[in-house]
Amino acid sequence: MNEMEKIARENHRNGNNCSASLAMAFAEKLGVTPEEAKKIVPAPRSIDGKCGGYLSVVAMLEKLRVDKTGEYEFKKRVR
């Protein structure tokens, strides 16, 4: 288990939902405080019933301005 996973698990055990727990674990990499990170991500199941982990990652990638879909499509074309 790596350090980020330990932090996320501890956040979850302390009562934060899975989405917020992940964001809080990556707060430093996002350039925000853990409390600010909680506000960046949507609640689990709040968008089309999608899981909190997925919604959290999408929100964090958007915050970092990373378009993984475009990158994936590019790699698919190059292969």
User: What's the pLDDT score for residue 62?
Assistant: 87
Q: Can you give the residue range of the structural domain that contains 25?
A: 3-78
User: What's the pLDDT score for residue 61?
Assistant: 87
| R_g over Cα of the chain | 14
User: What's the pLDDT score for residue 66?
Assistant: 75
Structure tokens at 37: 């990170």
Q: What is the pLDDT along the chain (79 residues), one digit of tens a residue?
A: 799 899 999 999 999 999 999 999 999 989 999 999 999 999 999 999 999 999 999 899 888 887 765 665 555 566 6
Using left for φ > 0, alpha for ψ between -120 and 50, and beta otherwise, residue 45 falls in left
User: What's the pLDDT score for residue 1?
Assistant: 79
Nearest to 63 by CA among 21, 28, 30: 30
pTM over 0.95: no
- Rounded to whole angstroms, the Cα distance separating 77 from 55 reads 26
User: What's the pLDDT score for residue 72?
Assistant: 55
User: What's the pLDDT score for residue 22?
Assistant: 95
What is the number of structural domains in the chain?
1
